[in-house]
Chains A and B, each alone.
Chain A
Amino acid sequence: MPAAIRTAGLTRTFHTKNRTVEAVRGIDLTVEQGEILGFLGPNGAGKTTTLRMLTTLLAPTSGAATVAGHDLIADPRGVRKRIGYVAQAGGVDPVVSVREELTTQARLYRLTKPEAARRTEELAQDLDLTDLLERPCRALSGGQRRRLDIAMALTHEPSLLFLDEPTTGLDPGSRADLWQLVRRLREQRGMTVFLTTHYLDEADALADRLVVVDDGRVAAQGTSAQLKEEYGGSARAGLQDAFLALTGREAKRETERAPVAV
């Protein structure tokens, strides 16, 4: 079975008037189908830039990638047809109704009007939005809004879902609901999930495997237990210990020489 994501030497350099910034310096990554991958890193580590490249929002400066079976450089539209993306900011119009947003989104994936209407009902039922369909999006709570964001990303039944900081700003109850939803998507649909998050407990609880990036490179990757043991000092260490060791000053010097695959 081919990998859901495979990248080789993916880089992205930004040029401004005064300087050149190498935001991503050569990411090599493989995400297997049906895997939930946690993509972690401190601010400025390159995780958002990587995510934006993988979702076709940003062209790589160099390197190659295959995403959901399509070449990222040669066939970005093919990639877009097969992925779902939930941005940190969401992406729904506050003044539009939930039904209107879901239906329009379905139409953008070339569903006919009757198909789009049917898909809207299905998604609303599946994500517990049925009673909210006629409400304007601005009237939704944070958790409801997030469910709508995910429903929009699932309109075309993608095989790969990108979630960018999906629980930022949510209350603990809504966070737990969302974790459950992500697990259900993988169990019921075999969906691959690429998750960026600042919350280490979230990565720990949800992800099958973690990739830690720092300074535009993969600093380490492995299961949560492997990272804790290798970098946190013991199997009983927290993920926070491993993360600090990997992205802190001392560890950073180590990883700059050679990314470590655990």
Chain B
Amino acid sequence: MSHLLTDTGIIAGRYVRQTLASRLGVLFGLLQPLLFLVFFGPLLRDIDLGGAGDSWQTLVPGLLVQLGLFSSAFAGFTLLIEKQHGVVERLRVTPVSRLALLLGRLVRDVLQLFAQSLLLVLVGVAFGLRSPVAGVAIGFVLVGVLAASLASLSYALAMRVTSPQEFAPVINSLNLPAVLLSGILLPMALAPDWLDAVSHFVPFRYVVDAVRDAFMGHYGGTLALGALVALALAAASLGLGTRVFRKAGA
């Protein structure tokens, strides 16, 4: 266990240093949700969004989940590039735990997401977002768990395919419906009944609702359900990712 932690720390450190060396990439990753916040957020101010919170308490949590979804779903691209350079193969011939090769990457992804999320929330506050600090922290944790799950699946897919041409269509075709059916930009409470019903089959919806409740300071059943869904998703995704990282090529 101590070896796993040490290995994970070394791998995470390697990727964190890489990320810090390309800060521009981190900022560009944040650009899309920031644009939504700045140019879309004001449009919602006087609209009844069907929930208890104000428009910023609805939009900012949605954008956080969107940020988590997009950044983690495409995380596998970096692994594909490393595969092409032989880095993955070289790491797999070292005695380092193969699980650590996955976990180290996930640690970097979640840390990067937290930094971006913090920036997004601070801009949100400047625009008028008011939320309890505890609620924001809980929201961050939920988004972090969700992002780790999706990044794990993304890395597992990247281990299995051979080129970005195979990888991108799969991610795009899964990501877009997930975003549309999760109520990320607007709550699904506004949707017609059939669409609302369909969205209940998308696990991200429960996480979005939970993060919104946390941002409103409501720590009840919706939050608990969202946390349960996020944890279940994480368990399944990490299990699959671990299996693929251990067995890939074997």
A-to-B contact residues, CB < 8 Å = 52, 55-59, 77, 80-81, 83, 85, 87-96, 100, 104-105, 107-110, 152
Residue with the greatest number of chain B CB neighbours at <10 A, chosen from A88, A92, A107, A108: A108
CB of A85 within 8 A of CB of B93, answer yes
Least CB distance from B141 to A in Å reads: 29
By a CB distance below 8 angstroms, the chain A residues around B86 are 87-92
Given contacts A85-B93, A108-B7, A108-B95, contact A52 B249 (CB under 8 A): yes
By a CB distance below 8 angstroms, the chain A residues around B87 are 91-93
Chain B residues with CB below 8 A from A92, complex form:
85-87, 90
The one of A59, A96, A108 in contact with B94, judged by C-beta atoms closer than 8 angstroms, is: A108
A56 — which chain B residues lie within 8 A by C-beta? 92-93
CA distance A158 to B249 in the complex (A): 23
Chain A CB within 8 A of B123 CB:
no
Contacts of B14 in A (CB 8 A): 96, 100, 104
Q: Across the two chains, which residue of chain A brings its CB closest to B17?
A: A100
Count chain B residues whose beta carbon lies closer than 8 angstroms to a beta carbon of A: 24
Give how many A-B residue pairs fall within 8 Å (CB-CB): 69
- Given contacts A58-B250, A87-B86, A90-B86, are A95 and B21 in contact (CB under 8 A)? yes
Q: How far is the CA of A89 from the CA of B162 in the complex (A)?
A: 14
Q: Does B82 contact A (CB under 8 A)?
A: yes
Nearest B residue to A87 by beta-carbon distance? Answer: B86
Could you list 23 A-B pairs, sorted by A, with CB under 8 Å? Answer: A52-B249, A57-B92, A57-B249, A57-B250, A58-B249, A59-B250, A80-B93, A80-B94, A85-B90, A89-B86, A89-B89, A90-B85, A91-B86, A91-B87, A91-B89, A92-B86, A92-B90, A95-B21, A96-B18, A100-B14, A107-B10, A108-B7, A108-B10
- Residues of chain A within 8 A (CB-CB) of B89 are 57, 87, 89, 91
Report chain A residues within 8 Å CB of B17: 100
